[in-house]
Structure 1
Amino acid sequence: MQSVSQIDPHAQIARKIRSIEATKVALLTQVADVMRGVLEGQERETIESLASLIGTAYLFASQLGLDLAQVDHSVCSGLPDWVTQGLLDPDEYERVRQYLRALR
């Protein structure tokens, strides 16, 4: 078996593209799984699907070369805007904010 450094650069690029495309498909599938769980009232399925979706979103960010800490920061800093726009209940925001702060 060849080491990664011995693989043709074009093959490495093709493999990376396939990996990213597979992750994009997984993201869409998991969004559908979340919605299906909500529609069917399946709490366990919804939780598992959300967990997979969040994990895959982090994987996708990593594949794109994004700084995961910056992604976290953007999530946290964007939530107050959702409250201001009326898209998020202030009590829900506070619960999520406290949870995310406890993770740090």
Structure 2
Amino acid sequence: MSGVTEKHYDTIVSPVITEKSTIAAENNQHVFRVRIEATKLEIKSAVEALFGVKVKAVNTIITKGKAKRFRGRPYKRSDVKKAIVTLEDGHNIDVTTGV
């Protein structure tokens, strides 16, 4: 794990553990919440450095925050960026263990 910097830890916020992401993990795809400003190259280098795997592709999605109400007062949820990381064959990540 040489070359791991603080920026790598700041790029990846958390893994997304849902039913859909668990099914995707069977196809060597893992889903992470990332910083809104993070680029695909930054995400790729962070995953490779933190988990010691080889990344094949990175796809990103920005989910816009919904307008909601709580006790009659409106507010807006934050925008969230997710990265779907496809790993090379033979590489695997166990997201249930901490980094």
Structures share fold, TM-score greater than 0.5: no
TM norm structure 1:
0.25
> In proportion to residue count, which structure has more strand?
2
TM norm structure 2:
0.26
> In proportion to residue count, which structure has more helix?
1
Query: Which of these two proteins has the greater Rg computed from alpha carbons?
Result: 1
